[in-house]
Amino acid sequence: MDFIIAIIMGGVIGWLASIVMRTDAQQGIFLNIIVGCIGSILGRFLFGQFLGGGHLRGNAFDPMTLLTAFIGAVVLLAIVNLVRRGRVR
């Protein structure tokens, strides 16, 4: 059950990050889930010690976990945009 909740929360976080980074029209549901889940791992790796976020599988509704995952997803989309277009937005 935790895996399904992590997939759903990853999709929501990826969708919100794509709206912030203005890439929502280019991405579908599957890419939003991937961005949210990988962004969660990236955010926990980069900002987990500062913000105290956990795993999406274990603490999916913890506010700090969601914030860390969201920031990680935004950073991931910024890196992808930078490589793809040569600019962040």
- At 11-68, the pLDDT tens digits run 999 999 999 988 877 778 898 899 988 988 888 888 877 777 666 666 767 788 888 8
pLDDT band at 89 (very low <50, low <70, confident <90, very high): low
Distance CA(40)–CA(74), nearest Å, equals 10
Per DSSP, 21 falls in state: T
pLDDT for the residue numbered 57 = 65
pLDDT for the residue numbered 46 = 85
Classify residue 74 as exposed, middle or buried by CB count within 10 Å of its CB (0-12, 13-18, 19+).
Answer: buried
As for how many domains the chain has, the answer is 1
Question: Which domain range does residue 73 map to?
Answer: 2-85
